[in-house]
Amino acid sequence: MPLENWAELFRCFIGPAARMQLKKLDLTVQFKMEPRADTPLSPDDQALKAIREAAKQLGLNFETFG
């Protein structure tokens, strides 16, 4: 899904589902980020550290590969 359409997920799916008084709503989100060959990711990258910390605070799994 293109990045510019992500807000539509909330408007069209998540918001309406949250208002349906469901017994359970399980949401799954998976991000796959691939750096450009000329700008590899560093474990010391501040943006990557912020993402990792946000995932931790939200109780989400965060894995890096490669």
Give the model confidence (pLDDT) of 6-43 as tens digits: 899 889 999 999 999 999 999 888 888 888 899 888 88
In a domain, 62, yes or no: no
In a domain, 64, yes or no: no
The per-residue pLDDT for 23 is: 95
Q: 4-30 burial string, b = 16+ CB within 10 Å, else e?
A: eeeeeeeeeeeeeeeeeeeeeeeeeee
In a domain, 42, yes or no: yes
The per-residue pLDDT for 21 is: 92
Q: Say what percent of the chain tops pLDDT 70.
A: 98
Give the total number of structural domains in the chain: 1
Average pLDDT rounded to a whole number, residues 40-64: 90
In contact, 56 and 63? CB cutoff 8 Å: no
In a domain, 27, yes or no: yes
In a domain, 20, yes or no: yes
The domain of 8 spans 3-57
In a domain, 53, yes or no: yes
In a domain, 65, yes or no: no
In a domain, 63, yes or no: no
The per-residue pLDDT for 66 is: 62
Average pLDDT rounded to a whole number, residues 45-61: 92
In contact, 56 and 62? CB cutoff 8 Å: yes
In contact, 16 and 25? CB cutoff 8 Å: no
